[in-house]
Structure 1
Amino acid sequence: MGDYLLVCALDGEEEARGQASLTRRLARLARAHDMDVTELGPGGWLAAGGPCPARVTTVSNWRLVGDVLNRRAPTLPACAPDDPWAYERKLVARFWGRYIGVQFGPRGRPTALLRDPSGALECVAWTQDGLLLAASAAFPWLLDACRPRWLINRARLDLALRDPLAAGAPLILDGPVAPPPGTVQPLPLDASLVEIWTPGLAARPSLEPWPGIEEAAARLREAVDEAVTGLAGLSAPLAAEVSGGLDSSIVAAALVKGDRKAVRLWLNAHGDTPESDERLYLAGLAARLDIAPASVPHLRAPMTCESLDALSAGFRPGLNALDQAHQTDWAHRIRAVGAEALMTGRGGDAILLQNATADVFVDLWRARGWRSLLDADARELAAANEASLWTFALQARRRAWSAHPRLQRPHALLKPAARLMEPHPWVRDWDDFGPAKALQIAGLVDSVARHEPSALTPFVDVRNPLCAQPVVEACLSLPTPILTLGGRDRGLARHAFRDRLPIEIIERRSKGDMTRLYGRLVHDSLDFLRPWLLEGRLAGLGLLDVQAADVALTRDALLWRGGYSAVMVLAAFEGWVRHWEARLAAPAAR
């Protein structure tokens, strides 16, 4: 969706003159950069721009900024009588969407910020000259006008490089505050966060008596239809991604079931390797849904200093924007047909549960003990993993109630970490669940990154219904052995949507894979990347192991040992550090 800037006056008479001067300047600059400015009451206004600009919905003393949709059948949480945030807990149960909120108190002054559970809309806030500012993007004109005295936090940078859940981690910048999804941030900004929604709370029903398969399938269908219909209905015409895989096919089928005329372009990208070309499955989907997809080559272009700088202007490293040539090509194609939004199937791997491994049997063992050996799906799961049930049982007895290890991205090119990472708030209570459910929760943290800026998002509103709250809550509430029905990855999804999709997609065992394409991207960029990293800022800050990188960053080493994704992550972080060091050191930022 589009970007926003929220500006609200705080208490403080001595700062009133500075407030008025800065707020007038910011409003003028926002309008000059094609943003619409809307008053929010005494001392507060919102600037919105980009594709599908954010709207304002009033709910009691909250102004919700973004897309706010009513739940079809909300389940309100039970709250303690003395819970000061009971209303907000019920608010995020009654509504879903892509929004942040600002609460106004006496005299129209802001008292709290809220971020919806999906994390689809970023919220970075800071105070200056008696104003509260909150933004979805680091607009250059905004930072030039405010001249914030921020610094890159080296310790947090070190941890973020190793953190597979970095999308939901604290900002690497000292100064601004980014409330995590599902929280309220009372003001002032140094007040303690309040968690009003967590995946752990949403997953509690999975520990209760299990529903029947058909009931679970119905829940999943209803949640997907609600999310797809809701996001598709925000604006039209649309484009829709159809990769040929299960996740995007489920979304496409729900779009056809809803309003097929809203979709002006069905778009597929195919690579030049067998595993990245899914047109065979796409043909079956097109015939079943009676659609005419456009299949285009998946473009790639070597990385350059300019391209990496372009993806580094956000509050977070541009990990979602590394596929620039492909994303730019799609932006042009989507806009050319008059569409301003793209519906995708991204996030389904984690939410619908791609990992049908021995971890699922451990979850089953926690619930049923030795009776798990009689479960037909357990036998299918063991066979799919080329193991015996007795091997699974031995693992389950050893692991069923043990604490889950901390997730950490292995990185042979970095020096040893100075300290351990703090666990992400969403995984602090994951020991209450088995390992498969715990990994699903961790995958949900990672899915927040699906919403981050890319080369598409300045021009196209990218909508990810499988990462939306109705689908997330439905899947978290179901036990993982049900989600992997038949011992299959996304087994329940295959069962729930079997009447909408062609059999070749329902029964498909393989999965599209772009690994070799991204490997070629690194190879094509190596003459640039090698000196850029070895002599770069991560090396200068003592984070990169230059000797190890010198050995690893050669074509022969990459061919034999792999590690392409680690190199791309390093490139994104290196570009971000260079960009922000230059931005924060510029005269206009002091």
Structure 2
Amino acid sequence: MTAKPSDTGYVVLDRSQAAGKALALVQTLTADLLNGGWSLVWDVGEISLLLGPRARHAARLVGPKHLLIGDWRPNGERTLSALVGLNRDPVALARAVTSEGWGNYVFFWRADDSGLRVLRDPSGAIDCAHWRRDGLTVVSDQWPAEIDALLPREVAIDWEAVGRMLVHSQYSVRHVALRGVRTIDAGGFADLGRCTEIAVWRPKDVFGRRYETDPDALVEVVDRTIASLTHGAPTVIAELSGGLDSAITVASLLQCKPRSGVQLVNYYGPWIEGDERAYARATSAHLEAELTEVAKPVQAVLASELARLGQGIRPAFQGVDTTYDADMAARLSRRRAVSLTGQGGDAVFFQQATPWIAADRLFRGDFGALHPRYLANVGRWTRRSAWAVARAALGPMFGQRPGMDDDPHPWNRATGDLPPAKRMQIRQLANCQVFWRDCLRARAAPLIHPFLSQPVMEHCLALPTDLLAVGERDRGFARKAFKERLSPMIRDRRNKGDLTRYYGRINQLSLPMLRKHLLKGRLAEEGVVDRELFSAVLTDDHLIWDGQHNRIVLVGVLESWVRNWEARLSRR
């Protein structure tokens, strides 16, 4: 039986201000959840915590009324309990927790003069949605259908939010398209009693700190982070895509894990441009580790597969490669393994080829940014003329900066005082939050994204982007830092694999299902998608060569999400 998103979830109920009917309903629903395999792990001071039948995050008391879900690792000797004792002010406590330790966690506590207070860790690994009804406060990452009865009275599909997700799937990173339901951002601290939220950790605040130019320091941070995140896991399955980021991840993993506890997997496409086995084999041979190679089948996406991806509180856009998602989920389940990825590496190590790095170099007072040789090198990398690079370098002096999103993530706000390429890095990092979201793999096992952990993010955010791109190439600093562990074939590689033809063929085979699913679906009925336009788009000729190969399947996932939640809300 396929796991539901809520099986690994948590639900926190604050009953301190709830009315009589709400209290009675909470008692009934709690009993139903306990009968369904949920566990009541904490019930103190009118606050209850329930964990799903397959919950993977531990919960523990760290203060009189302070509850931690997940893991917090101290940077020094001070424990979380010590921080609670030392910081009476709630904002000061939240800042201390994020500055003196790291991990994947949500931290709750209740004060006598206010409602529930919640801190979500800077990585954003554990989701955190909340709402109020009849004085009852509910907080959850993935709540089960039984809890739907406690949703706000005004709850309904937020069609404006759905429309935004259709245009920018990243909008789902910080929005739930249900009216009355809000989320706490990564690095955010919320006082739910006062309905306030502030960012106690932001990437922009990291930039400007003292940074370490020694490449070995980056290796140490990555090694230490991966060792900590995989500690206690008997088996780790790591995807070795053939690219730089996954090679770095695996190389660090093998520094702390015996090869008997590691399985490397490469998924390859049927056409040469999507077959990365040569690069994956070069890495595995260099690291003296075995590699499992799995062919990506060319088969249609099924409506039932899209339906599974619409079950969570957000559309499961991370599962749009349905055959890969299902295969990896099955492997993780069979081995009872955790999944280690290199996702987020493009952002933290700075993969973007942009002339704005010249402006960042000039921003820190290095006039080498205007040297003809540097301008020419950046121009070759970014495929622009040296004059265009020079204009970018001088652009901020004349008010020229990269554009921002219509609905920027809080991390992207108030970044006007940062150099332009650093702003681009932060925007890309905010978009990487999507990697933590729901998919079949996430339901099967913990997903570990070390490059999105707080220590690695902070180390790389502090570094100027022109140093991250040293040598005027993408991820130049990371290539230099890990050069001894990388095969020359990977270290010197300048191109990437391309699965456009593969996904185009998948879309073509899925066309009958997609036409029925979308042209007769709720998005079309509500006018969120233009039925005539999509009818023209959903053709063989268009889909086989569509460069945005996954976009049409993303729309299909969104359609399934809407159908699922309309059905759930109708049963309340």
TM-score (norm 2): 0.90
Distance, in Å, in 2 between the alignment partners of 1:148 and 1:54 is 30
1:367 equivalenced with 2:370 (yes/no): no
Q: Which residue of 2 aligns with 1:310?
A: 308
Higher relative contact order (CA 8 A, sep 6+): 1
Provide the secondary structure at the position in 1 that maps to 2:69: strand
Corresponding position of 1:411? none
Equivalent residues in 2 for 1:188-207 (5 A)? 188=193, 191-205=195-209
State the match for 1:413 in structure 2. Answer: none
Aligned residue number for residue 432 of structure 2: 447
Aligned equivalent of 2:25? 22
Instruction: Specify the code of the residue in structure 1 equivalent to 2:499.
Output: M
Count matched residues: 560
Contact 1:114/1:183 (<8 A) preserved: yes
Q: What's the counterpart of residue 554 of structure 2?
A: 569
Q: Identify if the C-alpha distance between structure 1 residues 146 and 367 changes in structure 2 by more than 3 Å, giving closer, same or farther.
A: closer
Give 2:81's aligned residue.
none
Name the CA distance, whole Å, in 2 between partners of 1:491 and 1:331: 33
Letter in 2 for 1:434: P
Q: What displacement does 1:424 show?
A: 2.1
Q: 2:218 aligns with which of 220, 231, 238?
A: 220
Q: TM-score, normalised by structure 1?
A: 0.87
Q: Does 1:105 align with 2:108?
A: no
Question: 1:542 and 1:404, CA in 2 relative to 1: closer, same or farther beyond 3 A?
Answer: farther
Among residues 282, 285, 289, which one is paired with 1:284 in the alignment? 282
Q: What stretches of structure 2 of length at least 5 have no aligned partner?
A: 79-86
- In the alignment, which residue of structure 1 is the partner of 2:173? 168
Out of 125, 131, 135, the position equivalent to 1:120 is 125
- Structure 1 residue 89: deviation in Å? 0.7
**In the alignment, is the contact (CA less than 8 A) between 1:377 and 1:486 conserved in 2?**
no
Q: Deviations over 1:130-160 (max 9, x none)?
A: 4322111132233257686511122222223
Check 1:58–1:365 CA distance in 2 against 1; reply closer, same or farther (3 A cut): same
Contact in 1 for aligned 2:359/2:369 (Cα 8 Å): no
Equivalent position amino acid for 2:42 in 1 = E
| Whole-Å separation in 1 of the counterparts to 2:281 and 2:433 | 31
Deviation at 1:407, TM superposition (A): 4.5
Q: Which residue of 1 aligns with 2:83?
A: none
Distance in structure 2 (CA, Å) of the matches to 1:422 and 1:202: 22
Find 2:265's aligned residue among 249, 264, 267: 267
Aligned to 2:68: 64
Judged with a 3 Å threshold, the aligned counterparts in structure 2 of structure 1 residues 102 and 403 are, in CA distance, closer, same or farther, namely farther
- Alpha-carbon offset, residue 27 of structure 1: 3.2
| 2:33 maps to 1:35 | no
Greater shift after overlay, 34-43 or 504-513? 34-43
Separation in structure 1 between the aligned mates of residue 260 and residue 106 of structure 2, nearest angstrom: 27
Q: How far does residue 41 in structure 1 lie from its aligned partner after superposition?
A: 2.1
What residue is the counterpart of 1:8 in the other structure? 13
Distance 1:50 1:223, change over 3 A: farther
Percent of residue pairs bearing the same amino acid type: 28
| Counterpart residue identity of residue 473, structure 1 | E
> How large is the Cα RMSD of the aligned pairs?
2.9
Q: CA deviation at 1:202?
A: 1.7
Distance 1:383 1:313 in 2: 46
Alignment map for 1:41-190 (pairs within 5 Å):
41-49=44-52, 53-60=56-63, 61-71=65-75, 85-106=91-112, 110-143=115-148, 149-163=154-168, 165-188=170-193
**CA shift for structure 1 position 88:** 1.0
Does 1:505 find its partner at 2:510? no
The whole-number CA distance in structure 2 between the counterparts of 1:560 and 1:248 is 28
Structure 1 segments unaligned to the other structure (5+ residues): 75-80, 409-420
Q: Tell me, what secondary structure is at the counterpart of 1:363? A: helix
**Residues 167-186 of structure 1: CA deviation (Å, up to 9, x unaligned):** 43332111222111111110
CA distance in 2, matches of 1:579, 1:405: 38
Assess, with a 3 A threshold, how the Cα gap between structure 1 residues 283 and 304 changes in structure 2: closer, same or farther: closer
Distance apart, 1:342 and its partner CA: 0.9
Report what 2:464 is aligned to: 479
Distance in 1, matches of 2:89 and 2:70, equals 27
State the SS of the aligned residue for 2:221: helix
Local SS of the residue matching 1:556: helix
Residue in 1 aligned with 2:529?
544
